[in-house]
Structure 1
Amino acid sequence: MKKLFNSIMICVLLFSSTFIGTACSDDDKNGTNKYPVPVISEFSPSEGLPTSVVTIKGANFGTERTERVGRVYFGGVEATDYESWSDNEIKVRVPQKGITGNITLWVWKNHTETTDEFICVPGAEITSINPSPTFPGSQITINGKNFQYFIDKGVTAQDVIVEFCAEEGITKATADALTATSVTVTVPTDAKGGVITIDFDGYQKVSGPELPLVGDLNLPLINYLETSGTITIEEGGIGSTKDGAYVIYQFDAPATGLFDVYLMTGTTKDGSSLNVNIGDNLNTLKTAALNETLTHAMKNTGSWATNWKDQWGAFYLEEGKTYYLKITFLQVGTTWVGNVGEIGLTLSTDQNQTPVNGVKPGADYVIYKHDFNSGTSYLPFTDAWAWEPNYIKIVDKYLEFYYNYKALLEDDRRMRRGAEVTCNFKTTTEGWYGFKVYLPEGKFPMNESGIIIAQIFGQGCKNSWAGHLSIDQGILKLSHRHALIDPVVGIVGKLETNKWYSVVVYFKAGRNNKGHLKAWIGDDMVEGSPAYDSGNCNFGFAHWIDDDTLDDTGNNSECVGYNGTYDALGCKFGLYVTNKVDMTIRFDDLKALEGNPAGAFDIVKPGK
């Protein structure tokens, strides 16, 4: 019996040791034994643009890639787009914000680095489109930067293809002209409004802001708001008009720009004329004296048929804003005036002319904005960080940001810390932010601190925040600093859940006490009464041209920066957090204004 017991114990011990050995072996498979130190033998090409493919050859790369096992960095910036991955070859795309430097490869816990540097060529960027909006068949100029690289490579205008949205898919057009800072192209007749993309002969494809394309806006004759005097309006037209009669229509502007009003008219009476005007205040439009420059004589065609087209304008309109159109019938010498058979608005061919309503078309400043009232694109804003399950998306006409703490807990990297949008905003002197913010009850933790929702970000040599708006236990605060040190913190106001708050921020970079920051909150904000005023202070850091201006000239040899050799202030909005709780925040009417033009407060004020 004793021998039997000993035999059983020996078997148990052998089984246990086998199991333990197997377990240790499995641990090794998940550790460095399965992933030996990788070796890079070569990479090509030696330079490239963002999104261009780089081939890395060597050994011990592993037969498959997962987020934790395989990672490639360009100058310390992690790539996110891999074409292929095998044990001896990797094809990876250069990240958008890659930095010139060594290529670093991590395979599990082992890494290696190339001896030679990879040169990250600053990619092309689209900054603006002029004119915008426009119409199919017109010529536009797409302004941008870093186009010279392609010219140096021998790319000509005939090699550049611009892609536009169309009814089905995309439609393409060859560029008319190419310079270091612009691409000129004629909009195809079948193009629709939307995001445009430029293909620089295969070297790089870059997408820009949405280009609104506008057709005619026809106003149904029967859908008038009110009339006065002798006038008859039916589905087929307006008639039986006498001197002094008028009709008013209400409409929403389809885009921001200059528009002409056109009417199809008919009369047999000499001395007949029409006055056409547009205003955004109904009572003012009704009671104001007629602007004689907007009175046109009607052509006596000898018929009451409405086959003569006349045009008034140009009127400057803002997208989505409600306007009122007043048509007044005038006659001298007889009773009856004339008929109208069609009313419409069309985008003016010349968007640079002076509008008849005294509002300057366009602006002498650069602003990035979105009201999130339509579509799924939030350009000109793009993701700065939004790794799933974190997300950024348009929901019910606002922009929603979501942060998941569990994902950060499992993978503590910068890209997991919230979700933010940025844009091409850059200033070396002054700037303004304006937006509405909403904290949904049950989804935003009002007992948490250090929740950053907007950043004034130092781009370039000192790649870190210079200022930010944060929420600490329901209190909105504005922090700023002049170096990589503890910030100065000011209180802006108290927030509650389930309520929209309008916020405006002004900031001025400066050393030697030349900086300044202000913040406003609430629907009744007044420019002269900010909720927080820093007074004269030091704000912003890195290299300076003078006490008021950061150095973005690229001439400072000490400044090897974020995307070249410059220093400036950029923007970020959304959530930057490491809090141990999930959270959601919402933004609306988001604006970032470069500089400090006249009326800047009203330009960025939410709802304007």
Structure 2
Amino acid sequence: MKNILRYMFIIAGILTHGVFAGCSDDGKLGSASIDINGFTPMEGLPGTEVLITASGLGDQARVFFNETEVTEYVSRSSDAVVVRVPDNASSGRIGVLNGDAFGFSIEEFTFIPSAVIQGYSQNTAPVGETLIINGRNFFEIDIEDVIVKFGNAVASVISVTSSAITVVIPEGAETGNITVQFGDIQTVEGPLFTVGKVVIIVSDYLVDTKNYEAGGGTFVVSDNYIDGTKNGAYLIYKVVPEADGLYDIKAQMSTNQGYNCYVNIDMGTDLDVLNAKAIDQSLTKQIQNLGGWAAMGDYSYGPFKLKGGNTYYLRISYLADGTSWVCNLTNLILHYADDQETSGIEVDNESGPGYNLYANNFDEGTLLLPFLARAVGTNYVKVVDQCAEFYYDPQMMVEHPGERAYKGAEVSCDEYSTKSEGWYGYRLYLPEEKFPKNATGTIITQIFNNGYGNTWAGHLHIDGEKLIIAYRGSSASTAQIDAEVSSLEWGKWIKLVINFQAGTGNKGHIRIWVGEEISEDQPTLNLENINLGFGSWTDSNTLDDSYLSCKFGLYVADEHERTIRFDDLKALEGNPEGAFDIVKPGN
């Protein structure tokens, strides 16, 4: 009894004065009249539910774990109570107090202190870095039973002690509260942790402009400078990035021309493939005339997604709506992009479509590229109402008789080149009152034979209200053969698709589709076993010393003023699978 009273006095010393309000009048404690029969479980963490059974318990009994009073009662009855172990409990006997009656358990309850995360070796760190989670009462169990999560991402645990857990921040880690699960024992949550960015410092790489891998057209290179460029010029350089990431291609450029000048910068993994690749117009930028050749503007292309240590090739292409100089370029730099969070442009030529398509639907701005305007004087080519409009002023032939440059208005694509087969597709519009129905000899599309003869091998022309195809197998005018394709309508858009195969020895062909509803298996005109193209041949369908290119628009030389429109213009090299659908207007 003396021990029991000592326990009760200890309890009384830590409780408020009103705890023993039920004491007898003589100030002595009541009797130990509550018999604790048992409790389960015998040990537990803070928050563990413990069932205590006792006789004489009553429905207002207060429970203590050693000297710490319970604050959470789950359920009560006359002979049992379920409580939660308080946070600051300690190991020892369980005591029960109800008025002036009390009782103690015979067995001691073993209190398991809660694991607590107090902090981290650093509050912000990037993926892949080692982090130490500091705390107390960590359970030293098998390392594979300790699970550390950064959001939904599970970290690799390196070591565990009672006060420190060392982990590697995993891929997919999320900013938030780190959680640690100790097997089936306990899961605890730590303070806020921020997943930081990997800070990589990569120096700018200045491209040696004199050391190019391939080039073409008119240009002049010197130390850190490219000038003397004309339309169609290009250079290709080899670069090896220092680290994985997104890279911008930066350069300073200038022009002094009154017509539009452009520079396209693209990248690839294969020199030969990039050399032959069609220009990606999304990577073309117009160069502004800021006041002369010395007035440089800053331009940036990309970002391109590159792998550190891999070899890449960088192609600079010069383009212009005029026929002379394009621009100067200096300070060509491979720059590790400031923003590494965007998607970036994948660089892998070998995963491309396997063909070159040159196209423009003229829906944005005034850009004609990849097609280049060929019009002088009052003749013009321009984007109007989201289509390309061509205008021929007959006064030009009065003022410049016989000069080819004044015989209409056209666009061509200097990159387009095929020695064998090709496809064109577009929509054509003949405006009422602006294109005379009695005019003849209006060439609107050409299959041009470059290198040998430098003249047309085939062309579509309008005679009155008829669409005619002309073709020849030599550059002699007497070799021309004409065939009617269809009648034409004014004031409505007309779809056209053309497929041609160069050929000698009657091995060539021309197929043409015209109309609103066109199907590959039903060409409007099919010319087989014809001669198309001239020069030397490597075989019956492949030119050797010449190639075929494209022209569209108006080529005339008479007294009739004309306006015509093209839309959804496409020129495809070769004959890849699905070529008809690739060039079909509206696709």
With normalisation by structure 2, the TM-score equals: 0.46
Q: Which has the larger radius of gyration?
A: 2
With normalisation by structure 1, the TM-score equals: 0.44
